[in-house]
Structure 1
């Protein structure tokens, strides 16, 4: 069965209800995607399903960032300190653990489950991760450079990326770009809002909507890469961005990220550098970072090293009028 991360995430979100994995009606809740990745047989009873799902979640969660791992384990009632019978009580425990409110705790759980589903699908595919269950072991980005010009009629950027193969026969790169929807105006993202062109390094083989605001891009390489092989690509993107931030949220490790942002006149009243924050918090003014001052050309320049998959790195600004945003993955 070809399992999609979106389908699996939906089934996992149903599984967190009530007693989580300890729920007595587990056989009814285990959908086809979950059964496929956990190798659950049709005649498996609740106890056997519980054992298999627990083993899978325990195997997948070490690949998550610490906070997301805690959120997922608490959601499924697998955390030693969060085994309450009711989901809401486990959410409250997580909120206290994160020193955040319940709403933020729920967002962490949602994000953690979605990342977990990606890890699970990758770990069960032929091109998935190694035996440690860590995602993104097929290739990683050695260097990513982005130049973003917000002073154009339509915001425009160039992305230069050098990737390194961590396995043999890397023929395609799974990339993505997210256009954050405007929470203030209820605007939705349409596939036509993003234009991507390859300047060199491959051909776009597929473009799909992975979620309501994220576009998945499959880039086919000219020739397959062997382990330790390097390859450079250049992309141009233009997008009608919705919120005032631009961040990289890598799905594969990134060794170095260099970002130039050129602002229109008048320049923003505030620019903040964001490093290792949750993607949902990138637009939250309560999430603070280093204050940046645009230079005489209206530009800021930031650099990051050792980017961890699932976290956001970039800048947020406060324009005089309604601003713009986006993210690269």
Structure 2
């Protein structure tokens, strides 16, 4: 693994083309790279595997390896030596010291990757029809009506599926006491299927059935793009997956109406998302009035996302 990572760091690292000849068998196994994966799929799997391992290292090793493998946008230079020099300037060290840090970091990442790649005792998602490999959501609260763009990559776990069962919950606070109507949620399908049906599954949850363009078999991947618009009365956006979810990436744009407090929710009970005094890490908006959070290996039935406190804010819940 160490030898293969040292080969990978050369040239443009993970952005080299093609990647096939530079990714060895141990690294392929650790990252779940398949024989027929193209360069784009290989790069995605390499980044998804290496980034969290690198980010778990001490700061000096993290910066050195983010540069070595071109995982930091600021260090995506065509030559390895240029990335080493960038890390040296960032860390206020000389190039030789950074190269030693990179070698030390590679040793640690290799050990972590091998440990994480130990075979599981059984199927990862037994008895599931499909699971979400990646869910990316952008929520804009600076619009006249709150608007969410959802891009999801699913993997088929059953022998064959023809539809995806999705849902959005428009939580209603007790002070309003009004039931949600199906018409309160606008849904547009950008790509990946046809909206076959929608119906109220409860007083506040709208169930959606998305018919796929063609039947998908076990192991196949499929991507969908959706847009949701709704007026929401609870100040949170969370994912409460009904199927397992490997990655949930969430951007929320508050714009000029920045809340007094923003809290990250991770593996919380659904009721906790509506708690007026939630527990969690406090988040700060950037200069554009945005926050960004990322969650991995979401457990079905628990809530992951963001809660904020403000007099006029709105919220939403996806599944």
Normalised to the residue count of structure 2, the TM-score between the two structures is 0.60
Give the Cα separation in 2 of the matches to 1:135 and 1:153: 43
Give the Cα separation in 2 of the matches to 1:184 and 1:135: 41
Distance 1:291 1:173, change over 3 A: same
Q: Equivalences for 1:152-301 in 2 at 5 Å?
A: 152-301=143-292
2:317 match: 327
Give the Cα separation in 2 of the matches to 1:187 and 1:322: 17
**Alpha-carbon distance, 1:281 to partner:** 1.2
Contact 2:283 2:291 in 1 (8 A): yes
- Residues 274-327 of structure 1, C-alpha deviation per residue, up to 9 Å, x if partnerless? 0001111101034300100011100000000000000000000012x2321110
Distance 1:135 1:270, change over 3 A: farther
Q: 1:139 aligns with which of 130, 138, 163?
A: 130
Give the Cα separation in 2 of the matches to 1:166 and 1:243: 34
Contact 2:171 2:234 in 1 (8 A): yes
RMSD between aligned residues: 1.7
SS in 1 for 2:306: strand
Give the Cα separation in 2 of the matches to 1:224 and 1:204: 15
Give the Cα separation in 1 of the matches to 2:275 and 2:136: 25
Contact 2:255 2:288 in 1 (8 A): no
**Alpha-carbon distance, 1:136 to partner:** 6.2
Give the Cα separation in 2 of the matches to 1:266 and 1:150: 9
Distance 1:186 1:270, change over 3 A: same
Distance 1:145 1:231, change over 3 A: same
Return 275-284 or 187-196, whichever deviates more.
Answer: 187-196
Contact 1:181 1:188 in 2 (8 A): yes
Contact 2:192 2:222 in 1 (8 A): yes
Gaps of 5+ in 2: 1-122
Contact 2:251 2:293 in 1 (8 A): yes
Distance 1:187 1:252, change over 3 A: same
**Alpha-carbon distance, 1:135 to partner:** 7.8
Give the Cα separation in 1 of the matches to 2:164 and 2:191: 14
Larger Rg: 2
- Residues 114-167 of structure 1, C-alpha deviation per residue, up to 9 Å, x if partnerless? xxxxxxxxxxxxxxxxxx9x8861110000000000000000010000000012
SS in 2 for 1:324: coil
Contact 2:154 2:223 in 1 (8 A): yes
Q: Number of paired residues?
A: 197
Normalised to the residue count of structure 1, the TM-score between the two structures is 0.58
Q: Equivalences for 1:77-92 in 2 at 5 Å?
A: none
Distance 1:205 1:136, change over 3 A: farther
**Alpha-carbon distance, 1:189 to partner:** 1.4
2:305 match: 314
